[in-house]
Amino acid sequence: MAKDASRKNMSKKVNECTMELDSETIAGEYFDHLQYDFIEWEKHAFNKFPEKFPEGRYGINDLFQILLWAEELERGYQDSAIEDLFFFSQNDLHSVKSTVDRAINQSDLEKQIETLIELDGISVPLASSILHFIQPDRHVICDSTVLKGLIDVRLMDADRLPGRPTPETYLQVRQICKDLSETAGISFIDIDRALWLHKHNKKWNLSGMEAIERLD
């Protein structure tokens, strides 16, 4: 009974947070705050990576680009992005490709995350970022940008979160984002962009972010 009540309460909060969200508004506001090079790279990555990676046509540079994207957009990873890049660069290329291939081919969401964090320099936030670009309809990003946004709109409880995101944290975040996606009719990409804008206090067109701003 308690679990059912909690679920109903969560559903109510999700409904409140998604009343005015729409994909077009989110994308417009998001791209207004990005440099042209980042806009073009994101469009390219989301268009090409979902085919490129499963077919094995990717290189180590594609993975580095995702990590650099996270740093440049100030995603707020707890570890220094420079340190992450250094440790990631120490991985053997064959090990990287075999690990990424193994992760892509896993059917279990948690195991995909667990597989990627076997690599040096790859934490849950970075693993989820990589998977988000490869399988954007399946994976969300679980980093401090997303966590802060979900906590601010009262969809997560900060006191119940571990110091660093774990695979279990990832599953919790994904379920919330899945509920948001289904309720608002927007994608995981849209949700991530909305939370990034929320974190960086960008000026929002209220038709796109009215509910979230009202709950602050």
User: For residue range 139-162, what is the model confidence (pLDDT) as tens digits?
Assistant: 999 998 899 889 988 898 888 887
Q: Given a cut of 70, is residue 29 above it in pLDDT? A: yes
- Which of the four pLDDT bands, split at 50, 70 and 90, describes residue 82? low
> What is the Cα 197 distance to its own chain's centre?
13
Distance CA 32, CA 39 (A): 9
Q: Does residue 212 carry a pLDDT above 50?
A: no
Residue 187 pLDDT level (bands cut at 50, 70, 90): very high
Q: pLDDT-derived band of residue 76, with 50, 70 and 90 as boundaries?
A: low
Question: pLDDT band at 86, cuts 50/70/90?
Answer: confident
Least Cα distance to 145 among 189, 198, 80, 72 occurs for 198
pLDDT of residue 81: 60
**Two tokens at 86?**
């250094």
Q: Sign of torsion, CA 131 132 136 139? A: positive
- pLDDT: which is higher, 24 or 99: 99
User: What pLDDT score was predicted for residue 136?
Assistant: 98
Task: Answer yes or no: is pLDDT of 59 > 60.
Answer: yes
Q: What is the pLDDT of residue 161?
A: 83
Q: Which of 204, 208, 216 is nearest to 33 (CA)?
A: 204
- Supply angle C-alpha 23, 141, 43, rounded to 5: 50
For 49, the token pair is 């990576």
Q: Average pLDDT, stretch 181-210?
A: 74
Backbone angles phi, psi at 78, to 5 degrees: -70, -40
